Amino acid sequence: MDHKVVVVTGASSGIGEQIAYEYAKKRANLVLVARREHRLHGISENAKRLGAPNVLVMAADVVKEEDCRRFINETIGFFGRVDHLVNTASLGHTFYFEEANDASVFPILMDINFWGNVYPTYVALPYLRQSHGRIVVNVAVENWLPLPRMSIYSAAKAALVNFYETLRLELNGDVGITIATHGWIGAEMARGKFMLEEGADMQWKEEREVQASGGPVEEFAKLIVSAAVQGNAHVKFPSWYDVFLLYRVFAPDVLTWTFRLLLSHQGMRTTSYIGTGRSVLETPSPPRRLLTGGTHTVPHTSSRHTTPRIQLLNE
């Protein structure tokens, strides 16, 4: 990868940031893409210290084709080539489908998780053909493992995997594709927090995907880059999730029964509100708490009969 050109979307935190560092260690030239450019400058300096000869930072929204065309064209204008395109844009949720009373969130989830990967690929593909390069896509185990409260997310990830597997056949080896599948890779997965992520307008990620440091995230990033450099078609982390795949194929009823049993022990269903940079959970107690965001404080009343609201907040 010495002096080859790697474009990383969603590079301002989490797995995207760690992937950028792994490519930097291999002396690749980097193009770091995120919606808020100021978050990328520190990462750019870190990448240079790790060995990246040149690093460009670009503000762009990956769900807008014109933004994707702009950052790819600027990459070609500066470096003259693209060797790897790494798509890490992702958008999670933890609400029950039937409790969502604002359907406008559904296309947003699909935009980030599907089109936020497809548009950069569409624009970069002619240049990747020229360099016989590679596309790296970050998906999740939910694309085949049905987990409650992740219905739209799971559907989008499944669509993404099918898109890239089909594209792999269409490209016939001219451009490689590495599909990286992760399970829960952060230590904060159960805390119900949502944090703003730099991939697109109105994008948020569960905190389990936002952690920018720590063993699991760094290890997954190393596996992804190693697999991409070696030309592997797939990489999975952690590998023990394969046991669920066996049940999914050969004993799906057992898997369904297991999830129902787990849900039955949770008692009251707890649904996360969608917000940015704050923990917003519906709980039976305390009966009243404050939700803080920026300089505003909003009172919130919780009860077991409260209908969850989906909040879409721009920063």
Beta bridge partners of 205: 195
Q: Is the pLDDT of residue 289 over 70?
A: no
Q: What is the mean pLDDT of residues 246-264?
A: 69
Give the confidence band of 78 by pLDDT, cuts at 50, 70, 90.
very high
In angstroms, the CA 309 to CA 238 distance is: 34
Sign of CA dihedral 302, 304, 309, 313: positive
Q: Is the pLDDT of residue 196 over 70?
A: no
Instruction: State the pTM of this model.
Output: 0.74
Query: Which residue type, as a one-letter code, is found at position 278?
Result: R
End-to-end, the C-alpha distance of the chain in Å comes to 36
> Which fold does the domain 5-250 belong to in CATH?
Rossmann fold (3.40.50)
Q: Is 106 exposed, middle or buried (0-12, 13-18, 19+ CB in 10 A)?
A: middle
> Any idea which residue has 């489908």 for tokens?
97
Instruction: Determine which of 150-154, 289-293, 309-313 has the lowest per-residue pLDDT on average.
Output: 289-293
Please name which of 109, 61, 63, 117 lies closest in space to residue 310, comparing C-alpha atoms: 109
Name the CA dihedral angle for 273, 141, 124, 11, rounded to a multiple of 10 degrees: 60
137 contact partners, CB below 8 Å, separation of at least 6 = 87, 117, 160, 164, 177, 178, 179, 180
Choose, from 127, 153, 164, 273, the residue flagged as catalytic.
153
| Strand boundaries in the chain, DSSP class E | 5-9, 29-34, 55-59, 84-87, 134-140, 176-182, 193-196, 204-206, 234-237, 278-279, 288-293, 296-301
Q: Please give the structure tokens belonging to residue 278.
A: 């704050």
In angstroms, the CA 303 to CA 127 distance is: 55
Please name which of 186, 167, 182 lies closest in space to residue 234, comparing C-alpha atoms: 182
Report helix, strand or coil for 120.
helix
What's the chain's length in residues? 315
For 205-240, write each residue's pLDDT tens digit.
433 333 333 458 888 899 999 999 999 999 887 666
The alpha carbon of 167 is separated from its chain's Cα centroid by a whole number of angstroms, namely 20
Give the per-residue pLDDT at 245.
65
Report helix, strand or coil for 219.
helix
pLDDT higher at 154 or 254: 154
Give the confidence band of 274 by pLDDT, cuts at 50, 70, 90.
very low
Pairing status of strand 193-196 against strand 278-279: antiparallel
Cβ 13 vs Cβ 199: under 8 Å:
no
For 10-55, write each residue's pLDDT tens digit.
998 888 999 999 999 999 999 999 988 888 999 999 999 999 999 9
pLDDT higher at 254 or 85: 85
Query: Which residue type, as a one-letter code, is found at position 304?
Result: R
153 is catalytic: yes
Alpha-carbon Rg for the chain, nearest whole angstrom, is 20
Ranges of CATH 3.40.50.720 domains, the chain: 5-250
